[in-house]
Structure 1
């Protein structure tokens, strides 16, 4: 088992990968740097290997697929995951590692948004999207994560080995955050400086399509991790619509004429009311199953910790 593993998922980062590998090897003397090449069409893999990284490959396209492969294959006491585009300074890695190894923190978030991100990043929709995602998750899950979508994080062994990677693309960061919050894992923030990509290096993010995928991921994880709140909200919306239509279209005319003039509307209102009731009880059932999953997860955490101690 490595003491510290630096994991770098890469796709066409030949202009920056050498500097990233070198910076982290200099900043963390006892680390092993792993570069996972994701079907690059340039010399990313060769340059990384020449710089001293252990190079491996993931042939399913998408950052989530790369992270899944990395988390399955690498054994370490502490993991640093960072992008290969040289936007995250390596000098903050030692502080992040210290929090994992000495404070037993499960996930350390490299917080860009509290420092230079909004000044350095030249894409205004990315700025808005990061702020929106942070607001939504902190409100829905009642937490205080400063940067949801940062690509610079540190993890404990038990987080890595119990985290089920379901996302395929850039929404993986959102999934990591929500998993840590929902499973009551220890999370800390470290404010880092962010620098925009150097000239000639291009982002792989598509502002709108990737943004929509992230918002869809938040909605799905809200449903999966907070089923009672999610389905209660659905039930409340259905019930409000049902009452508004029933009162305006059925009840008020009935008071004047003492005749139900719109039987189809009355029938539809009945079915919508039943749907609201079913949604609420579905949430209650799923919440019971979720509590059972939480208990089973605690046992998996203990097993992961026992296995980790044996392999040190």
Structure 2
């Protein structure tokens, strides 16, 4: 098991990856730097290896797929996850690692939005999207996360080995944040300086397409992690619409003793039945989620036992021996 693992997912980052690897080797000399190349068509893998990183490959396109591979393959007491575009300062990494190793944090968020992000980032819709995602996530899941979409984070071993990666693309940051909030894991915010990409380096994030994916992910995870609230809202909407259309029919019945609009009455009755079914579904799923939460706590205990066993086992020199390996 590595003491510290720096995980760098990369796709066509030849312009910056060498500097990123060099900076993190200087900031964290005891760490193993892993660069996972995601089908780059430039010299990203070659330059990363030349800078001293362990280079591996993920052939399924998408940042979520890369992070899934990283979390499965790398064992470490503390992890740093950072983009390979040289927008995040390596100098903040020791502080983030200490939050994991000394303060027992499960996830440390590199907070760009409280420092230089709004002045450095030249894409106004990205700024609006970050604020919208932060508001929705914290409001729906009861968090106080300062930066939801940041690509600079630190993790504990137990977070990495219990986090089910379901997303394929850039919505992965939102998913891991919501996972940490739902599982009551310790999350800390560390303010970092952000710098925009250097000239010639292009963002892989599409403001509109990936933004809608992120919002859809929030809605999906709200359904999964807050089923009672989600289905209660749907039930309330259906019940309200049914009552609104039923009131005139009821008033006409009291006035004349007749029900001339039977189709409306039937639709209202079906709407109320559907609302009741949705409410019951929310109650049942909420009960199942409670059982899942209990099972998760047992899995956490197992992961902590694995970590203790791995840390007590002889290292065999793996940490430095494979630092120039290219898979």
Task: Please report the TM-score for the alignment, with normalisation by the length of structure 2.
Answer: 0.94
Find the aligned partners of 2:251 and 2:22 in 1 and give their Cα distance: 75
Aligned partner of 1:123 in structure 2 is: 123
Aligned partner of 1:171 in structure 2 is: 171
Aligned partner of 1:272 in structure 2 is: 271
Aligned partner of 1:254 in structure 2 is: 253
Aligned partner of 2:135 in structure 1 is: 135
Question: Per the alignment, in what secondary structure is the counterpart of residue 151 of structure 1?
Answer: coil
Deviation at 1:253, TM superposition (A): 2.8
Aligned partner of 1:200 in structure 2 is: 200
Aligned partner of 2:319 in structure 1 is: none
Instruction: Give yes or no for the alignment of 1:156 onto 2:193.
Output: no
Aligned partner of 1:306 in structure 2 is: 305
Q: Which runs of 4+ in 1 moved over 6 A?
A: none
Question: Per the alignment, in what secondary structure is the counterpart of residue 135 of structure 1?
Answer: helix
Find the aligned partners of 1:226 and 1:59 in 2 and give their Cα distance: 34
Aligned partner of 1:241 in structure 2 is: 241
Find the aligned partners of 2:256 and 2:149 in 1 and give their Cα distance: 59
Aligned partner of 1:282 in structure 2 is: 281
Task: Please report the TM-score for the alignment, with normalisation by the length of structure 1.
Answer: 0.99
Question: Per the alignment, in what secondary structure is the counterpart of residue 290 of structure 1?
Answer: helix
Deviation at 1:181, TM superposition (A): 0.4
Aligned residues: 311
Deviation at 1:165, TM superposition (A): 0.3
Aligned partner of 2:182 in structure 1 is: 182
Find the aligned partners of 2:135 and 2:255 in 1 and give their Cα distance: 48
Question: Per the alignment, in what secondary structure is the counterpart of residue 103 of structure 1?
Answer: coil
Find the aligned partners of 1:254 and 1:111 in 2 and give their Cα distance: 61
Gaps of 5+ in 1: none
Find the aligned partners of 1:193 and 1:152 in 2 and give their Cα distance: 11
Question: Per the alignment, in what secondary structure is the counterpart of residue 102 of structure 2?
Answer: helix
Instruction: Give yes or no for the alignment of 1:293 onto 2:288.
Output: no
Deviation at 1:23, TM superposition (A): 0.5
Q: How does 1:210-225 map to 2 (within 5 A)?
A: 210-225=210-225
Aligned partner of 1:93 in structure 2 is: 93
Aligned partner of 2:102 in structure 1 is: 102
Alignment deviations for residues 212-268 of structure 1 (CA, whole Å, 9 cap, x no partner)? 1101100000000011111111111111111111113x1233333321111001000
Find the aligned partners of 1:159 and 1:177 in 2 and give their Cα distance: 11
Question: Per the alignment, in what secondary structure is the counterpart of residue 93 of structure 2?
Answer: helix
Find the aligned partners of 1:252 and 1:91 in 2 and give their Cα distance: 71
Find the aligned partners of 2:260 and 2:137 in 1 and give their Cα distance: 46
Find the aligned partners of 2:251 and 2:139 in 1 and give their Cα distance: 38
Find the aligned partners of 2:90 and 2:32 in 1 and give their Cα distance: 14
Find the aligned partners of 2:218 and 2:129 in 1 and give their Cα distance: 13
Find the aligned partners of 1:43 and 1:185 in 2 and give their Cα distance: 38
Find the aligned partners of 2:128 and 2:250 in 1 and give their Cα distance: 45
Deviation at 1:278, TM superposition (A): 0.4
